[in-house]
A and B are shown apart, each in its own frame.
Chain A
Amino acid sequence: MVPASSEATVNLPEGVALHARPAGAFVKTALGFGAKVLVASNGKQADAKSILAVLALGALGGSELRLVADGDDAAAAVDALARCVRNLSE
């Protein structure tokens, strides 16, 4: 069976960069799923389950994140991460 794939584009809230606590919340959410999840921002791509890779994206508040997941729970992972991003605060 070909693993399910799911994608979404979501913007970080204005004034909330993907650093420190927001990045931790994002990665903890990703780690709750079996799917492999990539997050891309500003021409760079990171494993959504790696805090150091996510921090290295340097994604600024208001910027666009592209989420791509592969695996049985890919759709749920993308939904949860998109919701997590929209609800992030400093």
Chain B
Amino acid sequence: MVGIVLVSHSLELARGLADLTSQVAGTEVRVEPAGGGPGGTLGTNSDSVREAIARADDGQGVVVLADLGSSILTVRHLLEGRPNGHVRLVDAPFVEGAVAAAVMCAAGQGLEDVARAAESARGASKF
């Protein structure tokens, strides 16, 4: 099953979103939160992202969503060394993209379709 990594400046935010996606999509999906700085401060670091990717990856690929600014840069920098597309940073709204991706993962869809669902979340109306 494709896995998901959620990268936020706030580990609490990433964890909360992981909980939400699990509630909607089911607990069988690997949704791994990453982020936060030392001692509970806000920030991102590539070590926590690298570890989360390793936890999320069962061989079917990983979709990474990040919140804003430097968390995006952290992920992009990390993935420069992995050009094969097995781990994919998607340009998607954090909450909606994560929920859309998680349901696709749970339904056994492939990396390409999961990434597309996350990115198309940008155009979705809420009501």
A residues with a Cβ closer than 8 A to B are 20-21, 23-25, 27-28, 31-32, 50-53, 55-56, 58
Q: How far is the CA of A15 from the CA of B126 in the complex (A)?
A: 22
**How many B residues touch A, CB cutoff 8 Å?**
19
Main DSSP-derived SS at the B contact region: helix
Is there an interface contact between A31 and B121, defined as CB atoms closer than 8 Å?
no
Give Cα distance in the complex from A31 to B101, angstroms.
Answer: 13
Least Cβ–Cβ distance between B95 and chain A, in angstroms: 10
Does B104 contact A52, Cβ atoms closer than 8 Å? Answer: no
In whole Å, how far is B123's beta carbon from the nearest beta carbon of chain A?
9
Of A20, A28, A51, which is within 8 A of B100 by CB? A51
Closest 8 CB pairs of A and B: A31-B107, A52-B124, A24-B24, A51-B103, A28-B107, A24-B25, A27-B103, A20-B24
B84 within 8 A of A: no
